[in-house]
């Protein structure tokens, strides 16, 4: 009996709630227009990169060897990015060595690294193996970040960054630890 009463009460509440949602609000003419339409300014961020998309961007050295990826960006109190935390080595996040490098030492590139071949392993030059092309479209030559900004309609982050070090040199750097 109690269950039937509870079920009837819930059904009645649902019926009343449906009627309340179906009502349209009445419009009045004494309201002022919304503030958003009074100041309709649009800001665009054409050519800017989203910080949330920078984590995971691959880092290559000038020989187009993958040496790690960006794990985090550290800013000063004014909001300027000062340090890039790079993850080196490891597999699926296990055993990864974190190092901190000055942000201005990274050279960002929008074009993909050029490779030739179709394979994924084996000796260099062997049939079916991946070998580096002599064209290094990914290697950046300068430190001018304005020359490497993304064109409009881009994916909001660079393809990769170039840092002049080998993977072993990065692994031998002191490990970065977040402190309290």
DSSP per-residue codes, 88-103: ES-BTTBTPEEEEEEG
Percent of the chain with pLDDT strictly greater than 90? 30
Gap between the Cα atoms of 73 and 136, Å rounded: 26
| Mean pLDDT of the region 106-135 | 57
73 near 83, Cβ under 8 Å?
yes
Worst-scoring range by mean pLDDT, 54-63, 95-104, 119-128, 157-166?
119-128
Domain annotation covers residue 73:
yes
Domain annotation covers residue 113:
yes
CATH number at residue 97: 2.30.30.240
Q: Residue 32: pLDDT band by 50, 70, 90 thresholds?
A: low
Supply the pTM of this predicted model.
0.55
Residue 39 pLDDT = 54
Percent of the chain with pLDDT strictly greater than 70? 57
The answer on pLDDT for 11 being more than 80 is no
Domain annotation covers residue 63:
yes
Instruction: Give the contacts of 54 (CB within 8 A, at least 6 positions apart).
Output: 70, 73, 157
| Mean pLDDT of the region 28-32 | 56
The sign one gets for the Cα dihedral 92, 96, 98, 101 is negative
| Mean pLDDT of the region 106-115 | 83
- Burial call 21-42: b when 16+ CB within 10 Å, e when fewer: eeeeeeeeeeeeeeeeeeeeee
Gap between the Cα atoms of 37 and 43, Å rounded: 15
Range of the domain at 142: 51-171
The answer on pLDDT for 168 being more than 50 is yes
- Tally of domains in the chain: 1
Gap between the Cα atoms of 73 and 54, Å rounded: 8
87 near 73, Cβ under 8 Å?
no
Domain annotation covers residue 13:
no
The answer on pLDDT for 83 being more than 90 is yes
User: In 3D, which of 115, 116, 113 has the Cα closest to residue 161?
Assistant: 113
Residue 24 pLDDT = 58
């Amino acid at each position: 009996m109690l269950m039937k009463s509870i079920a009837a009460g819930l059904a009645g509440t649902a019926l009343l709630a449906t009627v309340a949602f179906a009502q349209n609000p009445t419009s009045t003419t004494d309201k002022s227009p919304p503030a958003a339409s009074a100041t309709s300014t649009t800001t665009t961020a054409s050519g800017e990169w989203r910080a949330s998309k920078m984590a995971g961007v691959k880092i290559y050295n000038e020989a187009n060897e993958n040496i790690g990826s960006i794990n985090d960006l550290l800013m000063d109190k004014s909001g300027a990015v000062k340090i890039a935390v790079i993850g080196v080595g490891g597999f699926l996040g296990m055993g990864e060595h974190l190092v901190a490098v000055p942000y201005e030492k990274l050279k960002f590139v929008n074009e993909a690294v050029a490779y030739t071949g179709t394979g994924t392993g084996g000796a260099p030059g062997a049939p079916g193996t991946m070998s580096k092309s002599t064209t290094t479209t990914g290697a950046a030559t300068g430190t001018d970040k304005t020359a490497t900004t993304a064109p409009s309609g881009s994916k909001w982050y660079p393809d990769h960054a170039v840092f002049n070090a080998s993977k072993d040199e990065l692994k031998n750097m002191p490990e970065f630890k977040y402190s309290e």
